[in-house]
Structure 1
Amino acid sequence: MSDHSLAATTTQDFFPKVSVVIPIYNGEADLPELLNCLLLQTYPQDQVEYLLVDNNSSDRTLFILQKTATNSPINILPLSENNIQSSYAARNAGIKAASGEIIAFTDADCRPQPQWLYQLIQPFINAEVVIVAGEITALPGKSLLEQFADKQETLSQKHTLANKFCPYGQTANLAIRRNIFHSSGLFRPHLSTGGDADICWRILKANLGKLEFSPDAIVQHRHRLTIKELASQWRRYGRSNRYLHELHGVELTREMKNKEYGYIMLRWLLKEFPRETIKNLVGKSSLVNIFNTPLGLFTGRERSQGQRNAKLPENAKMIEWL
């Protein structure tokens, strides 16, 4: 028996009623693996409800959810949010329907590991803790872009928890006490990105409680496979920077000047590229080390473009309430 299995039988365990909220948009391909991950959770089944919220999908997502709910050993509640196309609006629908003392969040393209929910909930034994963030690791990938993102630890919560303005956790792996929403409000339903930082900051800046990190509460996520997907991901990060600047006064990410960009590319071509290529030929370096600099410059430029072109819609400022 593993140490984790032994941990689940100690008298210190804390098993409040939990509601897991998962927004889903055209998630038909992801559902089999996601549902299997939920089935394998070690948290007591009678203490969990899974609120899977279809966000106006055009595929068979809702049909699959409804069919699964009728004969699943776990408590699956299919819901719909068809008025607003936004993962935050879908999460709000889940929170409103939830009966749990704690609301846990993940996404349809995430793969929660068996101990995820157990480890995510344990820090709440401390009454001062109102937010818990778990870790996000990468699903195994072999492509150059996946290796690059892995090397950068792009998905890890350690970046968001170290945020200079205020720490926060990403909704791919986050839990919040339900009663806190009465004071903080819910997610901003019309916001398209940055809602996880926004809600954590509203809670923490109002001194409603503490945030804890649970590194053993692990959710796996797939890295982007194409340059187009990578560009979209980093432009979204840039839009998020702009929105959070307007909502909270967060400092904007500094944009690199063309002169700096040119200098770094030249240094890469003349110095890093030949050095890493030779090391690669003798088996002492990898392809990702060769292309790390240009890929880093590419993602930085995409983030700058997203930040520069973003404008926060007026309705995105609205907070929904319980």
Structure 2
Amino acid sequence: MPQPTAVDTSALRCSVIVPVYNGAGTIERCLNALASQRLPADQFEVIVVSDGSTDDTDGVVQRWLDRSQLTHWRLVRQDNAGPGAARNHGADAAIAPLLLFTDADCAPHPDWVAAMLDVFADPTVAGAKGVYSTTQSALAPRFVQAEYEDRYDRMRGQERIDFIDTYSAAYRRQIFCENGGFDTIFTTASVEDQELSFRIAAKGYRLVFAPDAKVEHIHDENLAEY
């Protein structure tokens, strides 16, 4: 009986981790965007972590993977424990030295992965925060986007930041793991991403703003959600 061919992972430069909970309606858009990255496909892996989804998320992802036949892409599952725990699960499964994070309701721009890698060419950088945009025209998404644009303007040109949210984020894997990853006390999406960045920055690690690492985000159209 022929033995399975070993997958060559030597060229992998980063691992992209996407936590998802009941995201059947958005995850395929995210996967399509990641599959459209300009960086060669053998240079990054994608790990989708289903956080105990109860809708058809797992089926949507698995069917997409079966169709695409991409070598370094996989779905892993866990019992529902929150996005922080899901990202940690992905980090544990990751192979590459850099961890990139985005969310299931985001569509990374074609240069997103490459833009993050460019930032880490500087060996002093431990983590990075990208940006998100939206094409939605409703009032609530426009309001939220304007707030973020103001925040981005204040970050431009700064040598260091201490605030990274995970719709577009990256960390050196060793530093992420040595600092325990995301605090799993946060079992729903809340401040688990900011807490990690504050904790790492407080130890003297350099976190930076990466304005070219862009994702398109689907904002909630209900202002009360903010």
The normalised TM-score by structure 2 is 0.84
2:225 is matched with which residue? 232
1:151 is matched with which residue? 146
Shift, 1:111, TM fit? 1.1
Aligned residue runs from structure 1 range 1-322, under 5 A: 17-74=13-70, 75-84=72-81, 86-137=82-133, 139-153=134-148, 157=152, 167-191=162-186, 192=188, 193-207=190-204, 209-226=205-222, 230-233=223-226
Distance 1:110 1:49, change over 3 A: same
Shift, 1:171, TM fit? 0.5
Give the AA of the match of 1:225: E
**RMSD across aligned positions (CA):** 2.2
Q: What is the distance in 1 between the residues matched to 2:17 and 2:57?
A: 15
Runs (4+) off by over 6 Å: 159-162
Q: What is the distance in 2 between the residues matched to 1:35 and 1:59?
A: 17
Greater helix proportion: 1
Shift, 1:159, TM fit? 6.7
Percent of residue pairs identical? 30
Shift, 1:71, TM fit? 3.5
Point out the structure with max Rg over C-alpha: 1
Number of aligned residue pairs: 210
2:5 is matched with which residue? none
Relative contact order (C-alpha < 8 Å, sep 6+): which is higher? 2
Distance 1:169 1:66, change over 3 A: same
- Contact map agreement 1:49 1:76 (CA 8 A) in 2: yes
SS in 2 for 1:212: strand
Give the AA of the match of 1:103: L
Greater strand proportion: 2
- Contact map agreement 2:48 2:74 (CA 8 A) in 1: yes
Residues 301-320 of structure 1: CA deviation (Å, up to 9, x unaligned):
xxxxxxxxxxxxxxxxxxxx
Q: What is the distance in 1 between the residues matched to 2:17 and 2:196?
A: 15
Consecutive unaligned residues of structure 1, counting only runs of 5 or more, are 1-14, 234-322
Shift, 1:16, TM fit? 5.7
Give the AA of the match of 1:66: Q
Consecutive unaligned residues of structure 2, counting only runs of 5 or more, are 1-10
Distance 1:146 1:204, change over 3 A: closer
2:6 is matched with which residue? none
- Contact map agreement 1:34 1:110 (CA 8 A) in 2: yes
Give the AA of the match of 1:148: F
Give the AA of the match of 1:29: G
Give the AA of the match of 2:61: L
The normalised TM-score by structure 1 is 0.60
- Contact map agreement 1:136 1:155 (CA 8 A) in 2: no
